[in-house]
Structure 1
Amino acid sequence: MANRHIGEVSASEFGGGVVLRLDMAGLAALEDEFGEFTWSNRLFLGLSMVSASKMNAVLKASLRNNKGTLFSSGDAMPEWPLDKPFVLLAKKCQDAITMAIYGKPYEEWAASTNEPQEADDPPPDGAEVL
């Protein structure tokens, strides 16, 4: 079972106990591979910014077996089931990134970035607004 408190996202489609969990090394590996950029800008655009190469990179940096070990450090990477759409995998990759950076799944993070801002208090009587 995925532990949300440490940023895990369930990836049970790959097998029992398999999760996605990015740590600092994983985030650094993604930055090394794709260059320095702001994840939030890409995430804000949603699934349109998720490509196969980025999903593969996120999997290499975060897919962990039921012992918590990265598959890329020994075990053969499991295959995504052919009967499952890739959009589901893309959402899991987005969740892994936002869980690592912001501590919440993508949809929860996106909803909080779109919340209306509180209006500033009006200036006291007679005060000018610059």
Structure 2
Amino acid sequence: MSLSKRDRKDRSVDGKSFPIDPIAEIKATLAIEVADALRREFGDGPLQVKRMARLMGVNPRTVKNWLQTDNGPNGAGLVVLMRHSKAVTDAVLMLADRHIERTAAKEAVLRRELRSMLRDLLDHLGPD
């Protein structure tokens, strides 16, 4: 069976290298970054894997594949991960070169935590 001319456009000719596939490169990098972020935030033991699977509504085998970088999360899975993990959100924003948004997200979290601490302090002090 011979290849059509269109198929040959993707082949290396005369020692030239293949074109770089930016999507494949990002998928591999994303899988590594997500796995690192999940390990930092949750750990990677069997109990943590089950906890992450319940939290994110996926099969534990899916979480194991993420942690082993066999597969990265799909779009919907990534959004769910970002909802539950600050480390994953930070990693995705870093990969997207969204440094301003990354900083803004950190500031928003710090502001919320500060407000919560101030409320607790005021409740502790009681009325004047």
TM normalised by structure 2 equals: 0.25
Structure with greater proportional strand content:
1
- More helix by percentage: 2
Q: Which has the higher contact order (CA 8 A, sep 6+)?
A: 1
